A and B are shown apart, each in its own frame.
Chain A
Amino acid sequence: MKKFFAILNLSIFCLFCTASELTILNRQGGALTGAQRRDVTIEIKKTESPNNVETIEYRLESLADGEQFFQLRCSAELTGENISVFDGLELVPANASEHHKQQLFLGTFPLAAAWTATEGIAVAAGAEDHHSFLYMDLRRGGGKAVITQTVNAALLKKGSIYEGKFHVIQFSPKYGERDAMSRYYKLYPQRFLPNPEVDPRLYGISATYSSWIRSNPEWARFTGAEWEWCLHAGRHWGDLTGDYYDMPHEKYIERYYFTQRDGKFDPKNLNGMPQDEFREIQKQRLADGYYCGIANGYYTTGASRINKAMSAKFNDSLAAAHPQVLDHYDYADSVFAFPETSWFKELMRMIRVVADRDDVGAIAFDIPLESEVYRGPKLREMTNAGFDKFGAGVVRAVANSKLYQAINQVPAKFGNYKLGVIKNGNSLHQINDCFYADNCMAEANPWQYAPPWPRFVRYAMGEKGATFWEGYHPEEFDANYNSWPQEDRDQLIRDLGHYAAHRAFLYGVTCGAHFTSEYLTNLAPAMQACIDARYKVVPGLETADGDITVTRYGNADRSFIALCNKSKTVKTPTVEVFAGEFSSDIADAPAGNALIFAGFLGGDISNLYRNGKEFVSAPVQPLRVNILEAVGAAPAGATGEITAKWDSRFAQMTLTLVSKNYSGAVQLREQFGSYKAEHGGSVKLSPGQPVSVIYRNSLSFIDDDAIKAMPLIDGSPRFTIRYADDHWSREMAERTAVFFRELGKYRVPLEKDSALPEFTVALSLNGKVPALTAPGIGGNAENLVVHAASREELSTMTRLMLDVLNNIKYPEYIWGVKMDDTDRSIFQTRRYSCSYR
């Protein structure tokens, strides 16, 4: 590693029209004096990363006791005409010759990019650098643009360190800044891809976000929910375990427990809840995760706010005076969980207790208040302290990032996972900790901000989870909404649902339970499939139709295309597919095999291969979506047209291909989740000769028609719900009873059946439940049986069985506003969640 003590002016590379440099300056932005150079060691290392990325690593170490402040500046220059610039949040107006923006703040990504029609260059700060104060500047004019990033670094005592990276990225301008984003994500897969060690449900659709109200299992099922905020974990803010239970109570929080206990809230009578009663409520709430088939996110505000009575014990962790602090929370003090502080140690102790004790998939942090600045006594012990006009400090987003990383190392009680982290993000705050969270709740509904909302949430989270909060709130559109005729009330929800679906599929931001309607319920399997494949920032797609938005999820033949029609007429857009980009996530990557797409929701999809190019064409109803699924590949350079169509049932799916003028072999996927091709995926096509490939569901041991014919109810239930001896089977028997009680208004008796193997539940007309030889859903004309290999599998399998019952036998059971005829027309076949995992 090269060491020197000087102003650095390092030219990284200079191509035809790009150049970049790194400079280290004093606090005011001037050159370092000789004394300043003597008091610091500066180490610089330049490396070349894949995908045309140059990385400049720097490390500053103080050699003196006093405080030192530096500006670390990296610039890149682009020459050419009509230069567009992205400042980390949005495009800089074309006529702006200068522009300044604080990055990592207010949703702004730490990447600035400039591009012409033919080339682009970006400067980005490292995603793991824990910066507090980062800025971008633009100077544009005279046929060139210079983009600069500046880090404010503080060394507060001898031995203090500030280290980080700048990345200078050459990228294709084909999709604006997106190719630069994709290349950046590839530098930090651990920050922008799902963590394989946490429960994968944490990246999916969220439930109601009602931490203090018990989950409704049917609502969660209709939503397609896979995780939930779960009960404020303590009686006091910051008390995760109940260790601080006897402190003076907080009526603000406790009211919800009382509401839950007896449905009434009496503010004059709040002191009487004993801790054991509180714990019982808490246990009931946490049991909902298994009961509803969702992962529990353990709600806490503990990353930022604790009860005032607790704060004296952790005074090294509290907010020092800061002129910008604005506290909304009456009963709590601002607290920081930096690893150097006592609060971090106490919080981690409590998290480990919770993880050992309860069914918790993630810690879910509300009110993370990422931009508040810590200037307390532990600041001098920290690396990468920054500074602003008020002096040295580190933002809470840095504390959160390190806290989240520590949480990711804690084993969960169930499922052989580590704890995940969910955060309630807010556009008003710093985004660093999004890089360390598994899912980010955007506390807003889709229409709360104008497009490109919620793009910045998606950019900050990379390919991890993101979700809207709120819901329809129709009374906000008209205070008199409740007095509208029912049809008009439903129509408003339908209209808003169409918009919600568009914004959700455009950026892979899921809609939580408060958006549930029949339309979004039917779209939920598609959203789950897309999220599971992961949002891709480089679309790899183009269409000339301005009313159609295109989004890609997943790679190659594991990919999906979401088409949203913003117009009020039916559209059949032709979309060019760049198969090389589908495989690499890099714009302009060379093409490989051509992909074949079928409609996830049904319908004929045309795949046209011509002159080495590939086009897919699919109808999209007005204001609706269509989801295409890659089902296989044709050889590179293929010529001709193939239409593909799914016909999906629970027991099997049939993929039918028709060649119009294509002759030759294609390679189809051999497996879609639990569905496996009967005779492999290699198929030969000839013009005009339809070919069907059948995929059998390995989880199904009963035909759809047998389920449909089962005479379960004849005025009243004719069956009982039988369950094995174990506790978990009993729970799922009760869960199954809820389906009939809530939706059919039938009370079904439960019977223990000791003859059943562990993890088994059955709907039985004759009391003679057949044994399943493998996990799945099966039975005969008089029994429908669910059998699983584990507790976790039984929970999700039972929910799947109820989905199957709902769709095959009781389609009249819906949640929320019904679909209209156009909505209904887009769902031409039905897919189940097991079809893609």
Chain B
Amino acid sequence: MKKAMVPLIILFAAALGASENYAYLYPSILKTGKNLIQQDLTKWSGKPLKDCQMLHGKGSPFSPDGQTLIIDSNGTSPNYWGSSTLVQRGHTYLVGGWVKNDNAKILFWSHSSYSDPKERVNDRIYFFSGGSRLLDGYLSDSVKQRLGGDPDEWHLCYRLVEIPKEGSPSPRLSLMIGTYFATGKITIAAPFVIDVTDDAANWKLTLDIRGTEPVHSASVLEQNVRDTVWQKNFTPPAETFNAEIPGTDFRRGLDKKTFEGYLLKVEYANGKTAAFSAPKEKTVKGL
């Protein structure tokens, strides 16, 4: 495999120093490809708007010191954090990141050559959890419960993006993560753009548990149908575990009509849960 283990080492180097508090959930792709998007999140672009704060914070799914980007808005306009990277024509990229969502609607928007219809790439994921600050007084308790919004939950959102073969010689792929329904707060961590064109890429999901927060059970579900793909109870609760999850395949992210991603749920021994998901993109309206 050409892309070796370097990115994993980089990724985990940040994580190891704080492993006593964390369990790790990630696509195995992260082992196999270089993360192309800017990892120093202080270099991402984003500007505050009226009633919308753009902040930097700490505490990613991988490290308490991991950088985060925050949008906290009671305003009326969507707003974004964004960065771009050079990509290659004809290649396919896994594009995404981790988000915490406190009553916002999140838009993951990856695009390239947007102003040129012939070369345009325009992939979007809309993600809404936990109701809405705007609608908070209107949503019934049963609906709020169903929406399941835990503002401290980390969600993994991703999409496979194909860069057209034809076009300008040095295309850039932009990743913008922000609020679509303006009100609410989102926290963004560990964004990634990984070249997964290599057929030897590992497309499975990996569960990696290390640290002192023992895990009682873990399960992988398919979004939408909620079929359990994989489930394991740890007796006694596990502090370490590392395995690829059978039956998972991130290439299904190309099938935007039927595949809505995975939901990976972990229950810690102390009863706290975590869930990771790749939600469905917005319904195509036609015009």
From B147, B182, B282, A450 is in contact (CB under 8 Å) with B182
B224 CB-CB contact with A under 8 Å: yes
B276 CB-CB contact with A under 8 Å: no
- Please determine whether B115 and A450 come into contact, CB atoms closer than 8 angstroms: no
B217 to chain A, nearest CB (A): 20
Chain A, Cβ-Cβ closest to B133: A450
Total interface residues on A, using CB and 8 Å? 41
CB-CB under 8 A from B287, the residues of chain A are 211, 366-367
B43 CB-CB contact with A under 8 Å: no
Q: Which of A334-342, A488-496, A755-763 contacts B (4 or more CB under 8 A)?
A: A488-496
In Å, the complex CA distance between A623 and B139 comes to: 10
A480 CB-CB contact with B under 8 Å: yes
Q: Which of B124-132, B208-216, B232-240 contacts A (4 or more CB under 8 A)?
A: B124-132
CB-CB under 8 A from B226, the residues of chain A are 480, 483
- Please determine whether B147 and A476 come into contact, CB atoms closer than 8 angstroms: no
CB-CB under 8 A from A429, the residues of chain B are none
- Please determine whether A447 and B132 come into contact, CB atoms closer than 8 angstroms: yes
CB-CB under 8 A from B247, the residues of chain A are none
CB-CB under 8 A from B277, the residues of chain A are 479
CB-CB under 8 A from A211, the residues of chain B are 287
CB-CB under 8 A from A477, the residues of chain B are 128, 147
Interface residues on B, range: 35 or more
CB-CB under 8 A from A475, the residues of chain B are 280, 283
A482 CB-CB contact with B under 8 Å: yes
In Å, the complex CA distance between A499 and B135 comes to: 7
B220 to chain A, nearest CB (A): 15
A-B contact number at CB 8 A? 91
A674 to chain B, nearest CB (A): 36
Given contacts A476-B105, A478-B129, A484-B146, contact A447 B224 (CB under 8 A): no
A325 to chain B, nearest CB (A): 8
- Please determine whether A448 and B260 come into contact, CB atoms closer than 8 angstroms: no
A811 to chain B, nearest CB (A): 25
A192 to chain B, nearest CB (A): 24
In Å, the complex CA distance between A483 and B115 comes to: 38
From A449, A451, A482, A623, B224 is in contact (CB under 8 Å) with A482
B44 to chain A, nearest CB (A): 22
CB-CB under 8 A from B139, the residues of chain A are 492, 495
A498 CB-CB contact with B under 8 Å: yes
From B117, B146, B260, A479 is in contact (CB under 8 Å) with B260
From A327, A366, A476, B128 is in contact (CB under 8 Å) with A476
- Please determine whether A256 and B143 come into contact, CB atoms closer than 8 angstroms: no
Chain A residues 418 to 469 lying within 8 A of chain B, measured CB to CB, are 447-453
B183 CB-CB contact with A under 8 Å: yes
Could you tell me the dominant secondary structure of chain A's interface residues?
A: loop
- Please determine whether A450 and B137 come into contact, CB atoms closer than 8 angstroms: no
B253 to chain A, nearest CB (A): 13
From A453, A487, A498, B138 is in contact (CB under 8 Å) with A498
CB-CB under 8 A from B260, the residues of chain A are 479-480
B257 to chain A, nearest CB (A): 13
From A256, A449, A484, A568, B286 is in contact (CB under 8 Å) with A256
A78 to chain B, nearest CB (A): 23
B4 CB-CB contact with A under 8 Å: no
In Å, the complex CA distance between A495 and B144 comes to: 11
Given contacts A366-B287, A476-B126, contact A488 B223 (CB under 8 A): no
In Å, the complex CA distance between A211 and B225 comes to: 32
In Å, the complex CA distance between A480 and B280 comes to: 9
Given contacts A479-B260, A479-B279, contact A450 B74 (CB under 8 A): yes
- Please determine whether B115 and A327 come into contact, CB atoms closer than 8 angstroms: yes
B148 to chain A, nearest CB (A): 8
From B114, B134, B225, B261, A326 is in contact (CB under 8 Å) with B114
CB-CB under 8 A from A366, the residues of chain B are 287
B168 CB-CB contact with A under 8 Å: no
B98 CB-CB contact with A under 8 Å: no
In Å, the complex CA distance between A482 and B117 comes to: 34
In Å, the complex CA distance between A173 and B173 comes to: 51
Mask, A767-809, CB within 8 Å of B = 1, is 0000000000000000000000000000000000000000000
Chain B, Cβ-Cβ closest to A93: B50
Chain A, Cβ-Cβ closest to B73: A450
Chain A, Cβ-Cβ closest to B138: A499
CB-CB under 8 A from B132, the residues of chain A are 447
In Å, the complex CA distance between A380 and B192 comes to: 51
In Å, the complex CA distance between A499 and B132 comes to: 12
In Å, the complex CA distance between A542 and B188 comes to: 44
Chain A residues 93 to 146 lying within 8 A of chain B, measured CB to CB, are 93
Chain B residues 117 to 163 lying within 8 A of chain A, measured CB to CB, are 117-118, 120, 126, 128-129, 132, 134-135, 137-140, 142-143, 146-148
B82 CB-CB contact with A under 8 Å: no
A684 CB-CB contact with B under 8 Å: no
Chain A, Cβ-Cβ closest to B74: A450
16 contacts between A and B (CB under 8 A): A90-B50, A93-B50, A330-B117, A450-B134, A450-B182, A473-B282, A475-B283, A480-B223, A483-B226, A487-B142, A488-B143, A488-B146, A491-B140, A491-B142, A492-B146, A566-B137
A residues contacting B by CB (< 8 A) are: 90, 93, 211-212, 256, 326-327, 329-330, 366-367, 447-453, 473, 475-480, 482-484, 487-488, 491-492, 494-496, 498-499, 566-568, 623
B residues contacting A by CB (< 8 A) are: 50, 74-77, 105, 114-115, 117-118, 120, 126, 128-129, 132, 134-135, 137-140, 142-143, 146-148, 181-183, 223-226, 260-261, 277, 279-280, 282-283, 286-287
A450-B74, A450-B75, A476-B126 provided; 15 other pairs, C-beta below 8 A? A327-B115, A330-B120, A473-B283, A476-B283, A478-B129, A478-B147, A479-B224, A479-B260, A480-B224, A483-B224, A487-B142, A492-B143, A495-B135, A495-B140, A623-B137
